[in-house]
Amino acid sequence: MSEESAEVLPTHDDEPHVEQNENRLNRLRAGVLGANDGIVSVAGIVVGVAGATIESGPILTAGVAGLVAGAVSMALGEYVSVSSQRDAERSMLAKEERELREDPEDELEELAAIYEAKGLRPATAMQVARELTEHDAFAAHVEAELKIDPDDLTSPTQAAVTSAIAFTLGGLLPLVAILLPPATWRVPVCVVAVLIALGVAGWVGARLGGAAPLKAMLRVVIGGGIGLAVTYGIGIALGTAVG
């Protein structure tokens, strides 16, 4: 019985490292998605305005406005979302702590049932539950039941800043790509740069998520190309109508 318990305990000790790695991957994926949003959003704006006018001033103004507004929107949205998630996690942690204090025996049986459901014999599951509870009851229960690391809750501020930076870095690419070339080459250079960047972002996102890179790249590049074509067409139509 003790040998079986010893076989389970290392797995338990390794789980926080797996969860931390997963959290880092999730944050990295969020950063890639934020950059992708910045590329698409700002590119759509500047290409649309470039379809209406060849003047650099309006393109720059619209691009910077879209960049700032998008970054602020991303930051606020991420802050609210992560804050809600963090509040929910704290509530669950407080509830678990209260239940451990008020009914420790019931919580012990619940923990044993979790390990029994994973394949351990009832006696072994209870022994593991007792040993983990004696070591750190709260950590053992929140890890097994809630899959939450109390010391690694996501920071709303960090998530907001990361999203804003990712969006800004992504949005700078189409803005620079459309302003640097001569007027006749602005749109083609910007479109090519954007599609390449989207392809790279799609590949990175797919690799991080364990998906097929080629399909992800095609989806994001085709979608981005269609979006740019639509906004450019609208810009031409509005520019002609206003003119």
Q: What are phi and psi of 3, to 5 degrees?
A: -65, -40
CA 84/CA 144 separation, integer angstroms: 22
- Global pTM reads 0.74
pLDDT over 90, % of the chain? 33
CA distance 35 to 51: 24
What is the C-alpha separation between 95 and 79, in angstroms, rounded? 24
Summarised one tens digit per residue, pLDDT across range 193-242 is 999 999 998 888 888 777 788 888 898 899 999 999 999 899 888 876 55
Q: How far apart are CA 48 and CA 237, in angstroms?
A: 10
Most confident of 15-24, 84-93, 209-218: 84-93
pLDDT in tens, 139-170: 887 887 777 777 777 788 888 898 899 999 99
Q: Which of 43, 14, 30 has the alpha carbon at shortest distance from 187?
A: 43
